[in-house]
Chains A and B, each alone.
Chain A
Amino acid sequence: MIPVGRIEDLPEGESLRIEAGDGHAAIAVFHSEGAFYAIDDTCSHQDASLSEGWLEGCYVECPLHAALFDLRSGMPTCLPARKPVRTHAVTVVDGMLYVHPLVPAVQEEAVA
C-alpha cells in the first residue's frame, strides 16, 4: 500500500504519477467525477504517460495517440491500444489516499 497524499491535494479533474517501488511500473492516479482511480501509468500501446492524458468522466485519453482507457477496468475502448492496462485498488482513510499496487480495483468507484 502506497500513500499518495491528502485527498485535497488531488482535486477533481487532476491526475498524478507515482512510483510504485522496486520492479513495479509507475502508477497514474486520477480524481474524476467524485471518484479516485489508479491504473498503470504507461499506455499499453506505446511509451506515453497516462497521468498526462486527457481526463473525461471515467476515461483517460492517452496523450500520444488518443487511445481511450476506461479507468474502472483498464480496458481500451478504441484503437490504437489493444491491451488493457492494470488497475490498482484505491482506498481513502482519514482523508489520506492510498494505492494498493497489483490489487485489481473492484469495479466500483472509491468514493471521495
Chain B
Amino acid sequence: MMRTVTVVGASLAGLHAARGLRDQGYDGRLVIVGEERHRPYDRPPLSKEFLTATGEPDGGLGKLALTDPEDEAELDAEWLLGVRADRLDPASGAVGLADGRTLRTDGVVIATGAAPRTLRATALPGVHTLRTLDDARRLRAELRAAAARVVVIGAGFIGAEVASSCAALGLDVTVVEAAPLPLVPQLGERMAQACASLHAAHGVSLLCGTGVATLRGTDRVTGVELADGRVLPADVVVVGVGVRPVTGWLEGSGLALDDGVLCDEGCATALPGVVAVGDVARLARPGTGGTVRAEHWTSAAEQGAVAARNLLAGATVEPFGALPYFWSDQYGARIQFAGRREPGDTVRIAEGDSDKDAAGGFLAVYERDAIPTAVLAVNRPKPFTRLRRELARGPRLAVR
C-alpha cells in the first residue's frame, strides 16, 4: 500500500508523473522535490522566444508555467523546492535531501532530468550553458547588455536555436561543431546537411570538424581558441554540447546506472516501488536487446502516466511505446521529426527540395525495405502530422 510517493524532480516529467498518480486514483501523500526554486515550467521556449522577446520578463514564470492554482489544488502535493535530493536508500524507504532532511516514502519517481555538459575551465564570466530559467535569464541579460559577437559551441538543437535567436537579435554569430556535420546520429547525413544549411542561409557561420582547444580571457571571456589554432573573438560564449543525466545522487542506492537509470520498458527500475521518467530514464527496448534514453519533451510528458500506472500496480502492466517525436524552431523554420530511424535507412523526399532549398521547407520520409520508419519535416506541419499518425499506428512500429 502506497501511503507516500515522492517525486524527485519538479519539471515536465515529474509533474506529469504526479498528475498521472492523481489521475489514476492515488490519494495518498504526494511530495514533489525540486532543485530549482521554481514551480514546473516549460523549457523549450528558453532557447527561442524567451531570448528574443521584447520587453523585460517579470520575476515569475509567466507563460512558461506548467501549472496554475487550480491545477496545483488538484495535485494536492507538498512542494519542496530549492532543495536537492542527494540520497536514495531503498532499504529504509528514505530520500535524503541536501539540507539534511530525510523523507520517508513508499514509492519514488526519479525525474531528476539532465544537466548540461561543460567544457573544462568554463567558469569564466561570459560563458553560458542553457538548461534552466535562471540560465536563460542570465544569458538573455548578457546578450542585451554588451554582446556583439557570440560563439556557440555545439551545433545540436539547443546550439542551433540559440544561434538563431542571437542572429534574430542582430548579433554576429559563429557556431563551432566538433563533428564533420551536426545531427548526423539523429537525422542521417543527407538530412543533417539540409538542416545545417539553415545556418548559412541566415548569415550564421558554421565551422564543423574542429574542436575547441581553450577559452581565451582572464576576467571575462574574450574568445574561443580552436583545436586548429584559429581564434574566434567572442563577447559571449554559449556551450551546447549535450547533457548528462542527473544520477549522482543515486550512487549506492543499488539502482543500475549507465548513462541514465536503467528501467524496463515500463519505466520501472529493478527496485520495487521505484520508477524513473524523462531525460534521466533509460528504458529497455523489448525485442532489440537495446535500451533508449530520450531527451524529448514529449517522452518526458508521456512517460509520467505509464510510470504512475506501473508504480501503483506494483508491476509493469503497461509498456511505454509512444513514437519518438521532437521539434526544433530555428531561423523561422519549424523542424519536426518522428519515428525510429536506423542507420542505413533511405530517405525519400516527398515534398520540397531539401538539397537546394531547405529553408523553403520539405517533407522527408525515412524508409527501410520500402516501409516508412521515420519522418522529418521543415515547415510542413500538416503532412508531417499525417505521417506521424500513420507511423504511430503502423504495424511495424506497433510490434513490441
- Give me the interface of A with B, judged by CB distance under 8 Å: 46-49, 52-54, 61, 63-66, 79-80, 82
Q: Tell me, yes or no, whether B71 is within 8 Å of chain A by CB.
A: yes
Partner of A65, one of B49, B298, B334: B298
Residue of B at shortest CB range from A48? Answer: B381
- Shortest C-beta distance, A1 to chain B (Å), equals 28
Taking A46-B42, A47-B49 as contacts, is the C-beta distance between A63 and B382 under 8 angstroms?
Answer: yes
- Considering the complex, give the chain A residue whose CB is closest to the CB of B64: A46
B366-397 contacts to A, CB under 8 A, are: 381-382, 384-386, 389
Complex CA gap A65/B296 in Å reads 11
Chain B, residue nearest A64 (CB) = B327
How far does the Cβ of B219 sit from chain A's closest Cβ, in whole Å? 38
Report the bound CA distance from A63 to B389 in whole Å.
11
How many angstroms from the CA of A54 to the CA of B385 in the assembled complex? Answer: 7
Q: Chain B residues with Cβ under 8 A from A49's Cβ? A: 381
Contact of A46 among B45, B301, B389 (CB under 8 A): B45
- Closest chain-A Cβ to B76's Cβ sits at a distance in Å of 17
Measured between alpha carbons, how far is A49 from B384 in the docked complex, in Å? 14
Q: How far is the CA of A20 from the CA of B369 in the complex (A)?
A: 48
Interface pair A63/B381, CB less than 8 Å apart: yes
Residues of B contacting A53 with CB < 8 Å? 381-382, 385
Closest to A55 in B: B382
Closest residue of B by beta carbon distance from A45: B42
Main secondary structure of the interface of A (DSSP, over half): loop
Contact A79 B301, beta carbon cutoff 8 Å = yes
Task: Determine whether the beta carbon of A46 is less than 8 Å from that of B44.
Answer: yes
Which residues of the other chain, A, contact B327 by a CB distance below 8 angstroms? 64
Distance between Cα atoms of A92 and B317 in the complex (Å): 51
B68 within 8 A of A: yes
Distance from B282 Cβ to chain A, minimum over Cβ atoms (Å): 24
- Residues of chain A lying within 8 A (CB to CB) of residue B297: 65
| B63 → A minimal CB distance (Å) | 8
Q: Once the chains bind, are A52 and B44 in contact (CB under 8 Å)?
A: no
A61-B385, A64-B334, A79-B301 known; 14 other A-B pairs, CB under 8 Å? A46-B42, A47-B49, A52-B381, A53-B382, A54-B385, A54-B389, A63-B381, A64-B327, A65-B298, A65-B301, A66-B298, A79-B16, A80-B66, A80-B301
Q: Which residues of A contact B336 (CB under 8 A)?
A: 63
Which of A47, A52, A61, A82 is within 8 Å of B68, CB to CB?
A82
In the complex with contacts A46-B44, A47-B49, A79-B301, A63-B385 CB distance below 8 A: yes
Which chain B positions have C-beta within 8 A of A64?
327, 334, 381
B19 CB contacts on chain A under 8 angstroms: 79
10 residue pairs from A and B, CB less than 8 Å apart: A46-B44, A47-B49, A63-B381, A63-B384, A64-B327, A64-B334, A65-B297, A79-B301, A80-B66, A80-B301
Q: Nearest Cβ in chain A — how far from B337, in angstroms?
A: 13
| Chain B min CB distance to A66 (Å) | 8
CB distance from A93 to the nearest CB of B (A): 29
Q: Judging by beta carbons under 8 Å apart, are A52 and B301 in contact?
A: no
In the bound complex, residues from chain A placing their C-beta under 8 Å from that of B384 are 63
A66 to B299, CA, bound (A): 13
* Cα–Cα, bound, A57→B42 (Å): 30
